Copies of this chain bind each other. A is one copy, B any other.
C-alpha cells in the first residue's frame, strides 16, 4: 500500500484542516459576541482583527499544503512533516497574536514565512534532482555522495 509512505504528510494535512476549522469557529464566536451578522465583515477593532487573522491564514493554507506535499514527495517526508507542524504552530501564534494587536502578529508571521521558504527550497531541490534524473539521465544524489 503506497499510501503508507504518505501517512505523515496526510496527518499534518488533517491537523491543518482542523486548525482552519478552529479559526473559522473563532470568527463565528466573534460575530456573535460583537453582533456582526453576515454579510457584514467589519465591526469593532477586536472583531476586525479576528476576522483578518482568519482570512490571512486561509490565504496561505493552499500554499502551505502545496509545498508540504511537494517537499514531502520529492525531498523527505519526515523533514517536511516536521516543518509542517512548525508552520501550523506559527499560524496558531499568529492568530492569537493578531487577535491581541496587529503588532503581535509579526513575530509568528516571520517564523511562518521562514518555514514556507524552507519548504519551497526543499521542494525545488528535490524536483530539480528528479527532473535531471528523468530528462537528462543525471543522478545528482549519486554524483554528490560518491
| Cβ proximity bits A44-84 to B, threshold 8 Å, 1 near / 0 not | 01001101100000110111011100100110000000000
Number of identical monomers bound together in the oligomeric complex: 3
Q: Is the interface of A mostly helix, strand, loop or mixed?
A: helix
Partner of A62, one of B48, B61, B102, B134: B61
How many A residues have CB within 8 A of the partner chain?
Answer: 50
A40 CB, nearest partner CB in chain B, Å: 8
In angstroms, how far is the closest chain B Cβ from the Cβ of A82? 15
> Which residues of A come within 8 Å of B, CB atoms?
1-8, 10-11, 13-14, 16-18, 20-21, 24, 37-39, 41, 45, 48-49, 51-52, 58-59, 61-63, 65-67, 70, 73-74, 98, 102, 105, 116, 120, 123-124, 127, 130-131, 133-134
